[in-house]
Amino acid sequence: PIAEETGLIHPIGLWVLEQACKDLSRWHENGIPFQGHMAVNVSPWQLISTNFVNEIKRIVEQYPLDPKRIMLEVTESTLLHNRYESIAKLEQLRHLGFKISLDDFGTGYSSLSYLKDIPLDQLKIDKSFIDELDKTDDEQPLLASIYAIGIHMHLAIIAEGVETQSQCERLISMGGKAFQGYLFSKPLTESDLTAWLRGTQRTR
């Protein structure tokens, strides 16, 4: 909130994107295997900035990097700010090759009726839904419905906050294929992640 109130969120967001591009580029140059996407959060204030698309394009063009390696994450609440302008900018970014993810899905105020209008590649299911899995053995129809919607729309789906094997197994039974959480790893520094990636290279 402080960064947004002071206007610092925009330069901070661009700095984070540039660091992500630097890391991806350095890994590639050093032969470090990383086949996934680098996810970068985008705030509402960034998205409504007039020069946002051009600034992102300028940063990525500084590095030998395919924009498809960058996943820009927005939340449902982000799209409440100048909805049509925000969607138009996401369409521009996707046209340039960037991937778009809807983060914390299910916790915002958006209507499913316009989910089809957002140019998406990925849905990230909010941790609050995952937490419920260890509280009850019920079928969790809402969570199953989110998976069904995502699969029907040909979107990649990531469950956030997966902390137990039982959660993971139940998500797999619903069609889950990708997960994020402490069951797999705690947050890593760039140096620790680089070491981990090198380790996966040696074990192949």
Residue 59 backbone class (left: φ over 0; alpha: ψ -120 to 50; beta: rest): alpha
Residues 135 and 71 in one domain: no
Residues 68 and 161 in one domain: no
User: 52-62 pLDDT, tens per residue?
Assistant: 999 999 999 99
Which among 106, 135, 164 is the end of a domain?
106
Q: Closest by alpha carbon to 60, among 21, 34, 99, 92?
A: 21
Residues 53 and 76 in one domain: yes
Whether the full predicted model's pTM is greater than 0.85, yes or no, is yes
Sheet holding 38-41, edge to edge: 38-41, 70-75, 99-105, 122-125, 156-159, 178-179
User: 145-199 pLDDT, tens per residue?
Assistant: 999 999 999 999 999 999 999 999 999 999 999 999 999 999 999 899 989 888 8
For helices 52-61 and 9-29, angle between their N-to-C axes, nearest 10 degrees? 20
Residues 98 and 11 in one domain: yes
pLDDT value of residue 108 = 66
Residue ranges making up the domain that contains 192? 121-199
Q: If you count them, how many residues does the chain have?
A: 204
Instruction: Kindly state the average pLDDT of the residues 69-79.
Output: 89
Query: Which one-letter amino acid corresponds to residue 146?
Result: I
What letter would DSSP give residue 135?
T
In a domain, 61, yes or no: yes
Beta strands in the chain (DSSP E): 38-41, 70-75, 99-105, 122-125, 156-159, 178-179
Task: Give the count of domains, the chain.
Answer: 2
